[in-house]
Amino acid sequence: MSLLTESENPRPKDKRIETAANDADVVIRLENVSVVYRAPRERIKTFKEYVIRKVKRQVEHQQFNALRDASLELRRGEVFGLIGHNGAGKSTMLKLVSRVMKPTRGRVWVKGKIAPLLELGAGFHPELSGRENIFLNGTLLGYSRAEMAKLFDSIVEFAEIEDFIDAPLRTYSTGMAGRLGFAVATATRPDILIVDEVLSVGDEQFQEKCAERITEFRRQGTTILLVTHSSELVQRICDRAAWLDHGQICSVGQPAEIVRQYHDRYHLASPVSEPEPVEGSEPVPEEPKVPKIIVTEQLEEAEPLAGESAVSDEVRALEQRALQKAWFYPFALPSGRRVECYLPPHVAVIHANRLAMVESALKTTFGSDWSQLDCLDVGSNQGFFSVKLAQRGCRNVVGLEARPQNIEDAELIRKMYDLNNLSFRNGDVTKLNPADWPQFDVTIMLSVLFWLENPIGVLRTLKALTRHLLILETPVAPEIFGEMDWGSRDVRKQLQGSFALLDLTEESKMHVGSLTELSFCPGRESLIWLLRKLGFSSVEIVAPLPEAYEQLVSGSRVMVVARV
Amino acid sequence: MSTPTDKISFSARQSANSPVYDSALLGNPAVSEMKDLWQYRDLLWQLIARNIKTRYKRSVLGILWTMLNPLLMMLVLTFVFSNIFRFQQPHYAAYALAGLALWNFFAQTTTGAMSELIWGGSLMNKIYLPRSIFAVTALGTSLVNLLLTLIPLFVVMIITGVPLRPALLILPLPIVMTAMFALGVALVLSRVAAYFADVLEMYQIFLMAWMYLTPIIYPKEIIPRHLQWMFDLNPMYHLIEIFRAPLLIGWLAGPKTVLASVVAAFVTLAFGWWYFSRKADELAYRI
């Protein structure tokens, strides 16, 4: 046996007691921790209902595994990030560490004083004065009255509320209450600081002061446990991170690596798992679904151009007209010259990226022969993608565009290349009746969805128009997840995603983009869920090339391929 | 290696010597709940003080209202029952006021415990608190109110010619017995209320019926003899009796009543504490 195989196969569980005694640096240790909730299968809201069902023996319980066999060690002074979707087990993990919840199986070991950064003003009472609230809040966090009396002056000073200390809290501004909350929570250096979601207290100056205090704690050895949806934040401030999915720790390691894995695998994983039925036996942990991703290939440059001398006078005249116009796209002209693109180069690169992504998606599905494909390009603008699809040999390409000026520009290019398989139609996709149109094998709609005030209606229209493949590309809104009250406090609905409401009054006056003054932009998960809901059999994300446009790489803009 | 002596409670009190929390070393939930409550005693005072202060901060009469409220109730009752029903109850005013004071103590503790626990739900989700602190806070708050109502009670006794006898010194005994009984009931109710939204509402109706079935505002003699067994089964009847006896008779109540009160107090509290602390951890995600 070589040493290598030895070290690759550490004995899994036996060593936990040794490490507990030896490793003085460990402050939090989870050993094979599982948390199982037991709840009635149907939500029973009232006692009356419960009694009636109990009598009729209709109360069925089911288990929900909030955390499965999780093991993790956190060391002194590190900033540790937990990422994962709602229901992935992040908050369960926090609750275990802060003793709010006990593990069903396994062991949780925590050394040192824990301080949670609560939501602003949790535990404050509006009628009590700032002074009284400091004592109340401090004792809630586990300090004694005597300790609070000693810390009192420094808290007031840090929160900058000396003049209002005896006024009732209801007279405080949100900023003041937030400052007071932060000052109490961080009155002494904790060994472990728990931060749930991003912290923003008061004005910029105070935020700096908070950041300074946290940095100071960290320097003195405080471990920070951060839970967030923001992978950007994890990459920026964490030393290590873990990614949770369906109650399992998928991986632990360097933040950049964890975020990459999370991004690669999570966009398409199914949403929060349904609770599993109780069947006496131990539930088998399921592997997180690995979503399919279309990988973009680096494609060879476009076909060789003819050169200036080879083009006809007619084409040269068209080129002359084109060269005098302002273009959104960096069209190459038949002679080899290029039109002037008014986008800055670092933005203009997006067109090439998107083209490569669309081509990869089509190649994955249809191979390299596209001669049987009818394509629709919704919001074709000056026709860049329509022209490319027509040039790559699609049987028939239709560009739908609402602004006649754009169609005029696109026609110029079409004529230059003499593309008989391409036509443009003037129209607004929001008002289009699918019954008046034929179906297309492929529908693409790039950079349009986020300008629309009725995105769901448009997606329905696209579904009706598409025979095989719909390719969408759009920036996506930040999302919230969780539940909301529905009807009464007993009825809760799971959010499937969220839309952002945007004011496009200014943009609607421009010659690209919105036709309306409002738009309603979906988040990524919402978009994926919605496409599935509208009947697409599979929805995939197109992975951008590593050097692609920053928004595509960071995930704030996505390309989605939906199959009918 | 860990030994049982590592069972240090997880509180800032030990911040100096790095407290260790180990889920594998948690003992009996009923015992650790009690220890933790002791650790958080300062919070208990703060919560009680908060309840008292906020109740009076924005009212003109302030703390006087606590004393006036049962007094006015008693005046109405005295008028109705002495002049219209013509009860043969000696010192009816003191009799009714004493009964009401103790009943309100019980009712406020039990209903208050449920509302306190629901108020604390969002906090319990984020930070560790001994969950029983909410019921004990409700108890402490109602105890302060009870002590405040004793003042008008003594005034009424003096005015209506009931002598203030040395037996008053044993009043803490019935108050402690009632407190224990009320806390036991409050713990059971708040665990159930955490699961079902309608418990508080149903309990209030039940409480109303219970009050009228207890001789608080009427003398027990008006109930026919063949129904008197009802009182024997009612712990609140016994508790009110042992509370009234030193006030009105100037001595302890009969041995049967004292024994029934003590048994009701200890058994209810022990059961309530066990029942509550057994599932106290679940409350955080039920509310």
**Pairwise pLDDT comparison (A362 vs A549), residue with the higher score:** A362
pLDDT given at position A10: 37
A542 and A444 Cβ atoms separated by less than 8 Å: no
Portion 75-94 of B in contact with A at CB < 8 A? none
Structural tokens at position A255: 């933040």
| C-alpha span between B166 and A342 (Å, rounded) | 99
Give the DSSP H or E segment for A137.
helix A130-140
Q: For residue B242, give the H/E element and its range.
A: helix B235-244
pLDDT of residue A295: 53
pLDDT attached to residue A489: 66
Average pLDDT (A307-314) is: 64
- From residue B196, how far is each of A325, B122, B138, B193, B287 by CA, in Å? 70, 17, 20, 5, 9
Kindly identify which residue of chain B lies nearest to residue A51, measuring between CA atoms.
B196
Residue A160 has pLDDT above 80, yes or no: yes
pLDDT for A15: 40
- Position A148 scores a pLDDT of 93
Considering A62-66, A263-267, B106-110, B189-193, the range whose residues carry the highest mean pLDDT is B106-110
Query: Is the minimum CB–CB distance between A112 and chain B shorter than 8 Å?
Result: yes
What residues of B are in contact with residue A134 (Cβ under 8 Å)?
none
Q: Give the B window 196-235 contacts with A, CB below 8 Å.
A: 196-199, 202
Cα–Cα distances (Å) from B108 to A128, B140, B144, B182, in that order, read 22, 10, 11, 9
- A123 to chain B, any CB pair closer than 8 A? The answer is yes
A262 or B233: which leads in pLDDT: B233
Over pLDDT 70: what percentage of chain A? Answer: 82
Put simply, the answer to whether A140 touches B2 (Cβ < 8 Å) is no
- Is residue A110 scored above 70 in pLDDT? yes
Minimum distance, in Å, between the CA of residue B93 and any CA atom of chain A? 36
In 3D, which of B142, B147, B103, B139 has the Cα closest to residue B239? Answer: B103
CB interface of B with A, residues 106-125, below 8 Å:
122-125
pLDDT for the residue B265: 96
Predicted confidence band of residue A333 (pLDDT cuts 50, 70, 90) = confident
Q: Which residues of B touch A101 (CB under 8 A)?
A: 281, 284-285
Q: How far is CA A481 from CA A315, A526, B57, B192, in A?
A: 55, 10, 40, 29
**What pLDDT does residue A300 have?**
42
Kindly state the tokens that stand for A157.
């000073």
| Amino acid in position B155 | V
**Closest CA relative to residue B282, chosen from B199, B201, B197, B192:** B192
Are B57 and A48 within 8 A, CB to CB?
no
- Residue B248 is given by DSSP the state I
Where do we find the tokens 């930040």?
Answer: A478
Tell me how crowded residue B133 is: count the other CB atoms within 10 A of its CB: 23
Classify residue A182 by burial, with Cβ atoms within 10 Å: 0-12, 13-18, 19+.
buried
Residue A120 has a pLDDT of 56
> A290: pLDDT confidence band, cut at 50, 70 and 90?
very low
* pLDDT over 80 (residue A270): no
Give the phi and the psi of residue A138 in degrees, each rounded to 5. Answer: -65, -45
What pLDDT, on the 0 to 100 scale, is given for residue B274?
Answer: 94
A116 to chain B, closest Cα gap in Å: 7
Backbone angles phi, psi at A64, to 5 degrees: -130, 120
Angle formed at CA A411 by CA A410 and CA A416, multiple of 5 degrees? 100
Min Cα–Cα distance to chain B from A51, Å: 11
ipTM above 0.85 for this complex: no
* Cross-sheet strand order for the sheet of A422-426: A293-295, A538-543, A557-563, A466-475, A440-446, A374-378, A396-401, A422-426
**What is the greatest pairwise CA distance in chain B?**
77
Helix (H, G, I), strand (E, B) or coil at A78: coil
| Backbone phi, psi, residue A371, to 5° | -70, -10
Give the whole-angstrom CA distance, residue A258 versus residue A266: 11
Contact yes or no for A102 and B197 at CB 8 A: no
The single-letter DSSP state of residue A382 is: T
Which segment, A25-39, A288-302, A483-497, is predicted with the most confidence on average? A25-39
Residue A101 pLDDT > 90, yes or no?
no
Burial of B86 (0-12, 13-18, 19+ CB in 10 A): exposed
Question: What confidence tier does A4 reach under pLDDT thresholds 50, 70, 90?
Answer: very low
Q: Tokens 């609230």, residue?
A: A133
For the stretch A279-288, pLDDT in tens is 333 333 333 3
Q: Return the residue of A nearest to B119 by Cα.
A: A123
Residues of chain A with CATH 3.40.50.150: 351-563
pLDDT at B69: 79
pLDDT for B240:
95
- Which one is predicted more confidently, B54 or A293? B54
Q: How many residues does chain B have?
A: 287
Selecting from B2, B40, B197 the residue whose C-beta is nearest the C-beta of A46 gives B197
Dihedral (CA of B199, B205, B208, B212) sign: negative
Which of A47, A111, A142 minimises the CB distance to B20? A111
Residue A555 pLDDT more than 80? no
**Is any Cβ of chain A less than 8 angstroms from the Cβ of B15?**
yes
- pLDDT by residue (tens digit) across A182-216? 889 888 898 999 887 656 666 777 878 888 888 88
Q: Which chain A residue shows the shortest CA-CA distance from B193?
A: A47
Alpha-carbon span A222 to A214, nearest angstrom: 9
DSSP states of B18-80: --EEEGGG---HHHHHHHHHHHTHHHHHHHHHHHHHHHHHT-SSTTHHHHHHHHHHHHHHHHI
Q: What is the DSSP letter of A507?
A: G
The reported pTM is 0.61
Partners of A168 in the β-ladder: A129
Which of A345-349, A523-527, B137-141 tops mean pLDDT? Answer: B137-141
Residue B120 sits at φ, ψ, to 5 deg, of: -80, -5
Structure-model confidence comparison of residues A239 and B16, the more confident one: A239
| Beta bridge partner(s), residue A543 | A295
Q: Which residue has the higher pLDDT, A48 or B188?
A: B188
Q: What CA–CA distances, in Å, run from A521 to A83, A454, A475, A562?
A: 24, 9, 8, 18
Determine the average pLDDT of the residues in A147-157: 93
Chains A and B form CB pairs within 8 A to the count of 133
Mean pLDDT, residues A213-236 taken together:
84
Cβ neighbours around A244 below 10 Å, total: 24
Q: Which residue of A has its CA nearest to B197?
A: A46
Hey, is the C-beta of A269 within 8 angstroms of any chain B C-beta? no
- Predicted confidence pLDDT, tens digits, chain B (287 residues): 333 333 333 333 334 446 788 887 777 888 888 998 998 999 999 999 988 888 777 666 667 777 787 788 878 887 777 776 666 777 888 888 899 999 999 999 999 999 888 888 778 878 888 999 999 999 999 999 999 889 889 988 998 888 888 888 999 999 999 999 999 999 999 998 888 878 888 999 999 999 999 999 888 888 888 888 888 899 999 999 999 999 988 888 888 999 999 999 999 999 999 999 988 777 766 66
| B188 CA to centre of own chain | 13
Closest CA to B146 of B174, B104, B178, B111: B104
pLDDT interval class at A525 (50, 70, 90): confident
Q: What is the pLDDT, as a whole number, of residue B133?
A: 93
Q: In this predicted structure, what is the pLDDT of residue A1?
A: 31
- Reply yes or no on whether the pLDDT at A3 is more than 60: no
Task: Quickly count helices (H) and strands (E) in chain A.
Answer: 17, 22
Domain boundaries of chain B, sorted by first residue:
40-286
Largest CA-CA distance found in chain A, in angstroms, rounded: 94
Share of chain B above pLDDT 90, in %: 41
Name the nearest CA neighbour of A85 among A250, A255, A228, A237: A228
Q: Which two tokens stand for residue A386?
A: 């329509």
Distance CA A450, CA A379 (A): 12
**Residue B268 in tokens:** 């209810």
Alpha helices (runs of H) in A9-57, residue ranges in sequence order: 16-22, 47-55
- pLDDT confidence of residue A147: 92
Closest C-alpha to B269, from B173, B185, B189: B185
| A61 Cβ under 8 Å from any chain B Cβ | no
Highest mean pLDDT range out of A18-27, A411-420, B107-116? B107-116
Q: What confidence score (pLDDT) does residue A310 get?
A: 62
| One-letter amino acid of B16 | A
Are A123 and B123 an interchain contact pair (Cβ–Cβ within 8 Å)? yes
Residues of A in contact with B1 (CB under 8 A): 17, 21
Question: What six digits make up the tokens of A378?
Answer: 């919704």
> What are the CA-CA distances from residue B96 to residues B81, B232, B242 (Å)?
10, 20, 14
* Average pLDDT over every residue of A541-559: 78
User: In one letter, which amino acid is B160?
Assistant: T
Please tell me the class of the A351-563 domain. Answer: alpha beta
Q: What pLDDT does B18 receive?
A: 64
State residue A424's pLDDT score: 92
- List the structure tokens of A298: 């680096």
Please judge whether B284 and A127 are an interchain contact, meaning their C-beta atoms are less than 8 angstroms apart. no
Query: Which residue(s) pair with A70 in the sheet?
Result: A33
